[in-house]
Amino acid sequence: MKIAHIFYSKFKKELPKYLYQDYLSKLPLELQEKNQRFVRWQDRHANLFGKLLLVKVLNTNGYDTVSLGDLKYSTDKRPYFEESFDFNISHSGEYVICAFSKDVRLGVDIEKISDINFDHFNKIMTPNQWSDIHASTNPTATFFDYWTMKESIIKADGRGLSIPLLQIQEKDREVCYENKQWYIQHIEINEAYSTCLATNVSDVQISKCYIDFYENEFNII
C-alpha cells in the first residue's frame, strides 16, 4: 500500500527574529527574496513553514540529497522535483500543510471554515452539491468540504484554476475528470478547518506528523 505523508505546522505568533532569520537562511537565495516580498508576517511565516515542511518530509523519507534549489516548475507553475515522488503544499488561517508520497500524484488543500455568503460561489457547485450543502446540519462546513475536495483535485491535476470548479464532481470518494481517476480522503487536522487529499491511487494510507517550529525542532536540515 502506498503512503501519503502529511507534515503540518501552525504559526501561533511571530517567530523570534533570530529564529526566523536562521530558518530563512536555510532557503535558496531566490526563495528568501520571494519570502521577503510578503508584507504581512503571517504570509511570510506561511510561505517559510511550507518550505521547511517540504525539506523535513524529504529528509525523513531518505531524500536528504534533494534540496530546494532543485525545484522546477511546470508550464502551469506547479513546483516539482525530477524524482519519483510528488508533493503539494497548502495553507489557510494558522495552519500550513505539506503532502508527500512516492510514486503517487497528489494534491492537498486546507481551508479555515468561516462564515461566507453562498451567493458569491453559486457558479462553482453543482445543483446536487448545493442540495447537499443546504440539507446539511452544518452547511458552512459541508461547503468547505466540497471546496477543499475541488481544490485538491485541481492541484493534483496541476493546471489549477484553469479547470472549472463546477466540473469537479465526487461520487463515493472518487472523481473522474477528463478520463483521469482521482481518489479523495478528508483529513482531520483541526475541527475548525477542512482538509482534503486527492491521489491518483486508491487505498493510500495517511501518516500525519505535526512539526512545532517554535520549539526549534528543525534539526535535521
Determine if the pTM surpasses 0.85: yes
Over residues 49-75, the pLDDT tens digits come to 999 999 999 999 999 899 999 999 998
Lowest mean pLDDT among 28-37, 92-101, 164-173, 210-219: 210-219
Q: What domains can be seen in the chain, in order of their start residue?
A: 3-215 (3.90.470.20)
Give all strands (DSSP E) within the chain, no chain letters: 3-10, 72-73, 79-80, 85-92, 95-102, 106-112, 170-171, 174-177, 180-187, 193-199, 205-210
Lowest mean pLDDT among 52-56, 145-149, 155-159, 191-195: 155-159
When pLDDT is cut at 50, 70 and 90, the band that residue 221 belongs to is very low
CB 154 within 8 A of CB 165: yes
Element holding 146 (H helix, E strand): helix 139-157
When pLDDT is cut at 50, 70 and 90, the band that residue 216 belongs to is low
Strand partners, 214: none
Element holding 50 (H helix, E strand): helix 41-60
Calculate ∠ Cα 96-102-108, nearest 5°.
30
CB 199 within 8 A of CB 100: no
Over residues 161-212, the pLDDT tens digits come to 778 888 899 999 999 988 899 999 999 999 999 999 999 999 899 999 999 9
Concatenating the DSSP letter of every residue in 152-166 gives HHHHHHS-GGGS-GG
Which whole number is the average pLDDT over 127-145?
96
CA–CA separation, 7 and 4 (whole Å) = 10
Nearest to 164 by CA among 173, 151, 182, 180: 151
pLDDT of the residue at 6: 98
SS3 114: coil
